[in-house]
């Protein structure tokens, strides 16, 4: 039986609020254009759903003019918050800062490089308001343009992270997603410091809906995520979501032990039945090296988890805010938007 969603989450959207969280790290070149598209989006949402919007730009320690540009953006039709972090904390921390500053309404996460189209954002909002979904996430429709090596790696990652998990993290899900007010509230209640938003947003449950999309090409500059960072994020995601690597380590231990046993039996067979003498030296070296390697791998895996425990134990904040400004939406003279209801 399906339970009816909280009635405050449905209906025409009248009086509802939406906070759009946009992490920006050296995005000066494309920011003005993105903001124009967000203004158009906010006007559409105000007209179609009577939805009040605010955008929260989280400046993740940019070294270019990003912060100055965000300060000067017009607050037409949507309120603007600028949260400037004290240094570059990384995208996940920036998303958390945005979530912490968002109003009590729905929250949408969107990249600041123009790859997440505001048109699609309107679709996400529709699935929330009209269809009553709590977590509307986007996922890459295909990975045809990516190398097979990357595809295999991604597939392996999700296979591992979802191994034995009750709530599977959908493969290919991106960070472009919308959370209903109650889903956003649930996400806020998760206490961990190490955030892996894709996973957490799925883990909280509620009614989830997938929208396939093709990311637009980056408007300016290049991706900030190098292979090493992606690897780091994957390890982060894996260790905070599953103990699959630990299980894998145990299995590896069992497998090596079984092989060693079989090997021992075969040697006994050779000595007793075939009557061969045992030369031994190379097999001894190989055995030692195999065991040494396996032990190091397993210690490394355990170490990842110990490190994770340490960083959670320290309870350091995920980010520091250097500067925070709030500007309510300016009412265009001819049309009345409910956007300024955000900061009353």
Q: Which residues bind ligand UDP (CB under 6 A)?
A: 23-25, 27, 60, 88, 90-91, 94, 111-113, 115, 218, 223-225
Name the residue nearer to ligand UDP (CB basis): 49 or 177.
177
The residue whose two tokens read 């995005």 is 27
Is position 117 an interface residue for Mg ion (rule: CB under 5 A)? Answer: no
What burial letters (b/e) apply to 137-159, b meaning 16+ CB within 10 Å? Answer: bbbbeeeeeeeeeeeeebeebbe
Binding-residue total with Mg ion (CB under 5 A) = 3
166-225 binders of Mg ion (CB under 5 A): none
Cβ-based nearer residue to Mg ion, 111 or 340: 111
30's contact among ligand UDP, Mg ion, none, with CB below 5 to 8 A by partner kind, is: none
Tell me which residue has tokens 């065991």: 291
To the nearest whole angstrom, how small is the minimum distance from the Cβ of residue 222 to ligand UDP? 7
The β-bridge relationship of strands 79-85 and 173-179 is: unpaired
The least CB distance from residue 31 to ligand UDP, in Å, is: 10
Q: How far is the CB of 234 from ligand UDP (least distance, A)?
A: 13
Q: Does 44 bind Mg ion (CB under 5 A)?
A: no
Strands 17-24 and 52-59 turn out to be parallel
Contact of residue 92 among ligand UDP, Mg ion, none (CB under 5-8 Å per partner type): none
Phi, psi of 53 (to 5 degrees): -115, 150
Q: Which stretch binds Mg ion (CB under 5 A): 18-26, 104-112, 228-236, 325-333?
A: 104-112
Report residue 123: phi and psi, to 5°: -65, -45
Q: How far is CA 136 from CA 180, 195, 236, 296, in A?
A: 9, 19, 23, 41
113: contact with Mg ion by CB under 5 A: yes
**Would you call 58 helix, strand, or coil by DSSP?**
strand
157 binds, among ligand UDP, Mg ion, none (CB under 5 to 8 A by kind): none
| 24 touches, from Mg ion, ligand UDP, none (C-beta below 5 to 8 Å by class) | ligand UDP
Q: Which has the closest alpha carbon to 22: 12, 14, 31, 10? A: 31
Find the part of the chain contacting Mg ion (CB under 5 A) among 1-9, 33-41, 87-95, 110-118: 110-118
Alpha-carbon torsion, ordered 279, 282, 287, 293, to 10 deg:
170
Positions in the binding site for Mg ion (CB under 5 A) = 111, 113, 115
């Amino acid at each position: 039986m399906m339970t009816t969603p909280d009635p405050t989450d449905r209906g025409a959207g009248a009086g509802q609020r939406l906070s759009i969280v946009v992490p920006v790290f050296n995005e000066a070149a494309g920011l003005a254009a993105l903001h124009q598209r967000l203004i158009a989006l906010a006007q559409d949402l105000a007209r179609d759903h009577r939805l009040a919007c605010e955008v929260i730009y989280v400046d993740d320690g940019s070294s270019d003019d990003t912060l100055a540009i965000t300060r000067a953006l017009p607050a037409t039709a949507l309120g603007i918050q600028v949260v400037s972090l004290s240094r570059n904390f990384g995208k996940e921390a920036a998303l958390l800062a945005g979530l912490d500053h968002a109003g009590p309404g729905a929250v949408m996460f969107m990249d600041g490089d123009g790859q997440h189209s505001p048109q699609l954002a309107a679709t996400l909002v529709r699935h929330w308001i009209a269809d009553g979904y709590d977590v509307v996430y986007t996922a890459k429709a295909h990975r045809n343009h990516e190398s097979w090596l990357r595809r295999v790696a991604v597939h392996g990652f999700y296979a591992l992270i979802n191994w034995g998990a009750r709530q599977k993290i959908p493969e290919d899900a991106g960070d472009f997603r919308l959370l209903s007010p109650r889903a956003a509230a649930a996400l806020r209640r998760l206490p961990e410091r190490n955030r892996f938003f894709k996973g957490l947003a799925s883990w909280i449950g509620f009614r989830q809906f997938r929208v396939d999309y093709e990311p637009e090409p980056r408007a300016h500059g290049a991706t900030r995520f190098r292979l090493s960072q992606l690897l780091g994020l994957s390890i982060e995601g894996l260790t905070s979501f599953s103990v699959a690597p630990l299980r894998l380590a145990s299995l590896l231990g069992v497998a090596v032990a079984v092989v060693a046993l079989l090997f021992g039996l075969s040697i006994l067979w050779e000595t007793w039945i075939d009557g061969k003498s045992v030369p031994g030296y190379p097999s001894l070296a190989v055995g030692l090296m195999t065991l040494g390697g396996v032990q190091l791998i397993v210690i490394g895996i355990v170490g990842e988890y110990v490190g994770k425990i340490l960083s959670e134990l320290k309870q350091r904040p995920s980010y520091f805010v250097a500067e925070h400004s709030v500007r309510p939406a300016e009412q265009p003279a001819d049309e009345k938007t409910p956007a300024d209801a955000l900061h009353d």
